[in-house]
């Protein structure tokens, strides 16, 4: 008995001693040193590694080739990982000894707070990026001193291409049910949906297995509340709330659409690509989605499809940029920044547009007239003229994507009402920003 106790105590003591340190404390590092920065290409050969996802990195390979042609001393190794795994492993790989140099940032999350990427403030000044890009295009990559409030402060990533979420419509079906032109207000949009329903068509195609009904809620919300107010919430500014007249209207409207049969009954069991397939096969008059599916939709529907920014007094859209930051462990930040600066060049812009993204330099967007791409460029130009671009609500916190998925699924299944939906979203937000 005594022996057992002795052995057990000994082992227990060893384990406790081993464990009794706060986890991860030794990994913590201070902010990267900010010395003077240079904008010249390195004189001796430098190799950088760049990580991205297949979708966002579609154009980056050809951009790298052109860049290396222009600056022969810089070599860039490209590697991609699928979206889900990329986001889950990015912080760990940035913290590891094999950190990549240039990284795609899909959201700020805790990456800045943990000092894993460099502040680009000095490079922004050196390259005058604030004059190259409209302020709303950089705002989502500015992070305040607390490491989590967005919209002001140091810049942490430079954009390569942009996405925009708006409304696709099936031109043939719209004409058939008597919708002559894209609706200009939410009331007109509602009336068009009623018309489609009465004519026996599915008014809005939707796949909500991954929570894409949140696009509709956000678009209705921000077109009512205004882009600026919507952005302060998405950026996590203290004191803002999701419980606004616009978002209330958005949640109620989406629930109402589901109740009236304006949305597919099985939406919760269909993912975004499933919905794209159905829409291109003629199921649904309208479809809320981003420009990233434009090439596929345009090709499959043989040009019989249009696109418009969500109806409202001012043009607003959900949009973000495919943006790249520099690891805090990067040994050659000057060379990395040289590449980031190349991302808004005419050649890079053309490559991004070809891959389906809106380019930083709109002049590089040359769509064929009459195509859905022409509609998208028109909507993009209009939204930027109205300064109406707002980041995705699901980037407001690290978990907001999951929270929006669960909450929109409950909303369109009638398991929760508008107030319950808004409460769930604000609770998640308050945990990070409250």
For other proteins, the binding residue among 116, 227, 318, 338 (CB under 8 A) is 116
Comparing CB distances to other proteins, the nearer of 383 and 407 is 407
Per-residue mark of binding to other proteins, 7-46 (x: CB under 8 A) = x---x---xx-xxx-xxxx-xx------------------
CB 428 within 8 A of CB 403: yes
- The stretch among 50-58, 183-191, 379-387, 395-403 that binds other proteins (CB under 8 A) is 395-403
Identify residues 40-99 at the interface with other proteins (CB under 8 A).
87-89, 91-92, 95
Per-residue mark of binding to other proteins, 119-158 (x: CB under 8 A) = ----------------------------------------
**Residue 402 makes contact with other proteins by CB under 8 A:** yes
**Residue 417 makes contact with other proteins by CB under 8 A:** no
**Residue 418 makes contact with other proteins by CB under 8 A:** no
Comparing CB distances to other proteins, the nearer of 295 and 413 is 413
Comparing CB distances to other proteins, the nearer of 40 and 97 is 97
Number of CB atoms found within 10 A of residue 81's CB:
18
Identify residues 195-214 at the interface with other proteins (CB under 8 A).
208-209
For other proteins, the binding residue among 34, 47, 82, 110 (CB under 8 A) is 110
Displacement of CA 246 from its chain's centroid (Å): 21
- The stretch among 130-138, 148-156, 265-273, 331-339 that binds other proteins (CB under 8 A) is 265-273
In whole angstroms, the minimum distance from the beta carbon of 97 to other proteins comes to: 14
As a whole number of angstroms, the distance between CA 394 and CA 270 comes to: 19
Comparing CB distances to other proteins, the nearer of 88 and 260 is 88
Comparing CB distances to other proteins, the nearer of 11 and 175 is 11
Q: Which residues bind other proteins (CB under 8 A)?
A: 3, 7, 11, 15-16, 18-20, 22-25, 27-28, 87-89, 91-92, 95, 109-110, 113-114, 116, 208-209, 265-270, 274, 398-399, 401-402, 405-407, 409-410, 413, 415
């Amino acid at each position: 008995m005594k022996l057992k106790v002795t052995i057990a105590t000994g082992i227990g003591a060893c384990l406790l001693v081993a464990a009794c340190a706060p986890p991860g404390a030794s990994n913590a590092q201070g902010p990267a040193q900010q010395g003077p920065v240079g904008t010249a290409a390195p004189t001796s050969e430098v190799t950088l590694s760049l990580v991205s996802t297949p979708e966002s990195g579609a154009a980056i390979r050809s951009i790298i080739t052109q860049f290396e042609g222009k600056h022969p001393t810089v070599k860039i190794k490209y590697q991609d990982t699928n979206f889900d795994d990329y986001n889950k492993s990015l912080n760990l790989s940035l913290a590891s000894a094999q950190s990549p140099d240039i990284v795609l940032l899909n959201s700020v999350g805790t990456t800045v707070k943990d000092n894993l990427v460099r502040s680009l403030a000095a490079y922004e000044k050196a390259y005058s990026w604030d004059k190259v890009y409209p302020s709303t295009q950089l705002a989502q990559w500015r992070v305040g001193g607390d490491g989590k409030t967005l919209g002001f402060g140091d810049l942490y990533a430079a954009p390569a291409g942009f996405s925009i979420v708006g409304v696709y419509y099936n031109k043939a079906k719209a004409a058939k049910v008597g919708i002559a032109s894209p609706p200009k207000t939410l009331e007109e949009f509602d009336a068009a949906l009623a018309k489609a329903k009465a004519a026996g068509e599915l008014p809005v195609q939707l796949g909500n297995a991954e929570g894409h009904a949140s696009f509709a809620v956000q678009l209705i919300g921000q077109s009512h509340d205004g882009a600026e107010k919507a952005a302060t919430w998405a950026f996590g500014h203290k004191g803002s709330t999701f419980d606004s007249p616009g978002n209330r209207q958005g949640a109620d409207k989406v629930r109402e659409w589901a109740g009236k049969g304006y949305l597919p009954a099985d939406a919760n069991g269909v993912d975004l690509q499933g919905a794209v397939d159905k829409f291109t096969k003629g199921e649904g008059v309208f479809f809320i989605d981003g420009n990233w599916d434009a090439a596929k939709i345009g090709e499959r529907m043989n040009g019989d499809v249009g696109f418009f920014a969500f109806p409202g007094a001012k043009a607003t859209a959900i949009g973000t940029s495919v943006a790249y930051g520099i690891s805090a462990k990067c040994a050659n930040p000057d060379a990395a920044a040289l590449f980031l600066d190349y991302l808004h060049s005419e050649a890079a812009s053309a490559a991004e547009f070809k891959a389906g993204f809106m380019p930083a330099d709109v002049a590089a967007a040359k769509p064929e007239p009459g195509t859905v791409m022409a509609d998208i460029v028109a909507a993009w130009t209009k939204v930027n003229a109205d300064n109406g671009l707002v980041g995705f609500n699901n980037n407001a916190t690290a978990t907001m994507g999951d929270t929006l998925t669960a909450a929109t699924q409950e909303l369109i299944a009638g398991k929760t009402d508008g107030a319950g939906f808004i409460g769930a979203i604000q609770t998640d937000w308050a945990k990070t920003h409250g």
